[in-house]
Amino acid sequence: MVPSTRSLSSLLALPALVFFSLSASAFPHPRTASSPATLKLAVRINSYGIKNIAAADRARIQARQAGGSSSISVTNDVTTYTADIGVGSPATYYTVLVDTGSSNTWIGANKAYEKTATSHDTGNQFFIPYGSGSVVGEEYTDTVTLSSDLVIDNQSIGVASQSSGMDGLDGIIGLGPVDLTQGTVSNTYEVATVTDNLYKQGTIGSEVLGVFFAPASSADSSGELTFGGYDASKITGDVSYVPITSTYEASTYWGIDQSISYGSTLILDETAGIVDTGTTLIYIASDAFDKYQSATGGTLDEATDLLKISSDQYDQLSSLYFTIGGVTYELTPNAQIWPRSLNSAIGGTTDGIYLIVSSTGSSSGSGDDFTNGYCFLERFYSVFDTTNSRVGFATTEYTYATTN
């Protein structure tokens, strides 16, 4: 069954150069807990400011590799996105980063927490480290409203007393595995995530999140988040699933095992890494990146911190092949370059050609050797299935698009 579109009273607004907004469409029929709830997204361009994507993402990855079980980066770059979520009853709305690479939900970085009759101070403290700072504060439980039909009772909410790196955001809504909450709240082993509670409270029939993004440079430039399943109308084939990797510490995230080839040349043996909507680029271990740079002929561009290639080199670019669970996903040459219409957003030249594959900064063998970020996920539909401890991918109409 293809899910219908639910209304959402709040808009997504990204205080960065590309951001997403939720449209206000209504389901034509009443929804039961067994039918997914789909939230529509649309891309808009904002002239907020230029950020170094590679540096921001790499800080996130390196903090994660250093052993922070909930390491996240909240640096706003070109493609992070946010949601306005309601907290309390009546609800006060807070603009929060939507992130599958972390799992705690917290607010208070910029806008003060408005307590209502549903607010309950647990007396516990919370602390979360991330790539460029940390957040600390008090834990509450409260009503959280994503839409009129996606309301969560007694959701754990961190209320920040100190935070850094938020750049106008109020906090984060975490959509990662519950394991990432371990050790983040005092007197608590782990806290139920937003998706956990939607399922436990019977709002959705399965603990599954479907994610669809269209390339920012495409005519559609839209996307959606689907709670409780996935939107079959957005895929062009079957969803192929793989279990969460057993390799620590990728296993505590949405971690998978994959190998990568450039053309017919293997550049990264099968190894563990993560899939993360909160990371913009695709990151691979430094030894694999060296092979990729050599094969493409790219040179590091100081302005963007990305590999830059000439038009002739682009014409010779081979596809990247990601083999995941025996299924190969092709990232075409066009999918490997930053959208040229957005070059100015990252400090690049108008006619420059920049590659979206970068280095993690550490060699393979760490147990966290790649991150498939947004630039991968806008070419493949992704399904994050907590119920069955697996991640799925499917091709979309944009898998082979040449919009970049």
* Active site amino acids: 99, 276
**Contact in structure between 300 and 315 (CB atoms under 8 Å):** no
Please give the distance of CA 2 from its chain centroid, rounded to a whole number: 23
Q: Is 53 helix (H, G, I), strand (E, B) or coil?
A: helix
For residue 118, count other CB atoms closer than 10 A to its CB. Answer: 18
**Contact in structure between 315 and 334 (CB atoms under 8 Å):** no
| 39 closest CA partner among 56, 21, 14 | 21
Residue with tokens 């921001």: 56
| 81 closest CA partner among 177, 221, 235 | 221
Q: What is the residue-wise DSSP string for 22-36?
A: E-----SSPPPTTS-
**Contact in structure between 181 and 386 (CB atoms under 8 Å):** no
Please give the distance of CA 151 from its chain centroid, rounded to a whole number: 22
* Maximum pairwise Cα distance, the chain: 64
Q: Burial-class residue 187 by CB neighbours within 10 Å (0-12, 13-18, 19+).
A: exposed
Exposure string for 22-39, b = 16+ CB within 10 A, e = fewer? beeeeeeeebeeebbbbb
| 153 closest CA partner among 185, 188, 201, 191 | 201
Tokens of residue 70, six digits: 């909930």
| 383 closest CA partner among 23, 100, 70, 81 | 100
Q: What is the residue-wise DSSP string for 232-294?
A: GGG-SS--EEEEPPSSTTGGGSSEEEEEEEETTEEEEEEEEEEE-TT--SEEE-HHHHHHHHH
